[in-house]
Amino acid sequence: MSTDAALTDALEHLVRGIVDSPEEVDVRRKSGRRYDTLQVLVNPEDLGRVIGRAGRTAKALRTVIAALPGGNDVRVDVVDTDRRR
């Protein structure tokens, strides 16, 4: 398994453990000029759970991903599903 896939799978696993609708969790990797982004898409009702109070949960997810091999090369974004397109 590549590092890219491992990071995506790890983030998806973590987020599925937080939300009420784990079947609706989708993590997509987007390549950019400066860095790659892991976009986290969840049910709109779970958005607050993933972000957390004052962004603490989202920050913790970013910290865990950054600690994994290759994690410093990606950025984690929680996408508001109403604006994802």
CATH number of 56's domain? 3.30.300.20
Residue 26 clears pLDDT 80, i.e. is over it: yes
What residue numbers bound the domain in which 67 lies? 3-79
Instruction: Indicate whether 39 belongs to any domain.
Output: yes
Instruction: Indicate whether 85 belongs to any domain.
Output: no
Instruction: Indicate whether 57 belongs to any domain.
Output: yes
- Determine the Cα angle at 12 with ends 84 and 29, to 5°: 50
Given a contact cutoff of 8 angstroms between Cβ atoms, the answer to whether 15 and 50 are in contact is yes
Residue 1 clears pLDDT 80, i.e. is over it: no
Instruction: Indicate whether 69 belongs to any domain.
Output: yes
pLDDT attached to residue 85: 46
Structure confidence at residue 73 as a pLDDT band (50, 70, 90): confident
CA 4 distance to own-chain centroid: 13
**Other CB atoms within 10 Å distance of the CB of residue 77:** 15
Residue 84 clears pLDDT 60, i.e. is over it: no
Tell me what the mean pLDDT of segment 53-69 comes to.
95
Q: What whole-number distance in Å separates Cα of residue 70 and Cα of residue 56?
A: 22
Instruction: Indicate whether 50 belongs to any domain.
Output: yes
Owner of token pair 């696993």: 13
Instruction: Indicate whether 29 belongs to any domain.
Output: yes
pTM: 0.89
Least-confidence region, from 17-21, 45-49, 80-84: 80-84
Q: Count up the domains in the chain and report the number.
A: 1
